[in-house]
A and B are shown apart, each in its own frame.
Chain A
Amino acid sequence: MASPLPSLAKATTAPAVLVEDLRKSFGATRVLDGLSFEAAPGRVTALLGPNGAGKTTTVACCEGLQRPDGGRLQVLGLDPVADAAALRPRVGVMLQDGGLPTGVGALEALRHVAGLHTHPLPVDALAERLGLTSFARTRVRRLSGGQRQRLAVACALVGRPELVFLDEPSAGLDPQARLAVWDVVREARASGVAVVLTTHLMEEAERLADDVVVIDAGRVVARGTPADLTRGPAVLTFVARPGLPRESLRLALPVGADVVEDQPGHYAVLGIPADPRVAATVTSWCATHDVLPEGLGAQRRTLEDVFLDLTGRSLR
């Protein structure tokens, strides 16, 4: 029976996934370097990280597809390798590379996976919700990337799992398909399913996840709710005509302030927290310079700002 209050369920139930100090190397390459996190029932946990951060390897260890070199790993209280047979019916998996049988029609593949379970979701309803009906009879090998993604999400959920791993569920999806997938994921969460997804899409982590685990170079560099992660001093921003004398405004502000023009006409006051006095100073400076500041207000840092601060800007 699902708890009507997922947030309470978190306090009273054991974690669906418990990862402590996970280590894994492929040859000389250390992929997981002491990674730890938890995922709770009735919550969406996003593993967020740049390419090659170790997200897929982490999930593969949780799915029993990879054996970690060290650390502690519990999935629904069990060992993913030793208790694989007990876990398989209770855990849904969507792999990044798909792994769907290619020589059959889309819904035939979904029906096949459904038939391996005792109480699967009705295939037609699931197909309708994820927009699979328009290509129901198309061979899997002829599907577009986005169509395959949605089919793979359906295959992960069709057995009514307690825990579902989705490796980059919205990669290659158009906005409508992404919303459809997100809706189904939210419904699974509301039913008490623990959802663990990997993503490098900020928007996905910000809008879908309850808990975000930021991974870089095989370690957790930050975790918390999206609100936690983006908490911190807000920054005062406004829009006005390009090319204002920023030095003059800086001198009018308290010591430590800096004024930047990120894009032409978009100004931000950095170095000092946004507060009413700063706002008043900016407003009066603008008045004396015959400038109307539009959209003047305190701007939260986005998850993307936090992510780039934590993982750097170099390309992987």
Chain B
Amino acid sequence: MTRELLKGNVAIGEAAIRAGVQAYFGYPITPQTELLEYMAWRMADLGRVFLQAESEIAAINMVYGAACTGARVMTSSSSPGFSLMQEGLSYIAASDVPAVVVDMMRGGPGLGNILPSQGDYFQVTRSAGHGDYRPIVLAPASVQEAIDLTMLAFDLADRYRHVVILAADGQIGQMMEPAELPPMQPLTAAPPWALRGAQGRAPNRISSLYMHAESAEAANRRIQSRLSQIRQYEQRSLEYATEDAELLVTGYGTAGRIALSAVQAAREQGLKVGLLRPLTLFPFPEERLSVLADRVQACLVVEMNAGQMLDDVRLAVGGQIPVEFYGRMGGVVPMPDELLTVISRMYRRVAAPA
């Protein structure tokens, strides 16, 4: 395979196509619009379905309908648009149909701005719609990872019949980097539960409605059992220099990638600092973090928000070690030197006291 210089948004679109996405429904919003524009011509060229919906609300419900036919389907948006999709996401999750949704996060709250942010961590991992469920959430930090995790997103969505969210930020969507695309995969066959007309079989019915508490609880148990499997098998993270680290830095996506530069610079200064970069935000890589928490003196969480993954880190660490936080908000992306200063100060204070 050859490496190409690819823009994140375009790379995700092409990766979805190679994963066999049969329908894309979306609505323009910066900083993910190139993804919609790419799908507009590319899906048409391939004779697959592309539709610009009248709103994100319509887009996610088109995804819901299309997913009910058993096809691989997706939509993409950015924070305010993702907020509008929450109702539909909850229905999709409750109905056990697979779907992939990209959230190219931007600065908030409110209209905020179109700059890179990680302010949707709670929204994507906790509250992607009403009711008791969590979507699978994947967090790429580069264009290559955006491709790889898009492919994974479709596989996980089908495997668990669940909503998978690719949560990146405007920087990853807009940036070009060299990357390799996987070969084109054949389209998947429709599963037996799909709605395609009850020809020679009993009707299939897809719904999230349970009138009685007992049946609704049973449906909830089914979802929770799926989620516990997901927690057991799908935690993913990457590490750098954690073997002998005294201070563990953790961050995902763009913040994690910039933190890597800072951690490398800290190592060059002789500071025993390591990095854990979650690839899955749900399931959060709590097992690995818990193991590392036994070894290190302290943990620093770096995010482009006011401290959201911080909660998951604290839960995983369980009070074993001090956990501190550094974040920038509103579309401000921290710089490597800035993080190095934060790391050095914290290291001197908690990991290697004078």
Does B bind A? no
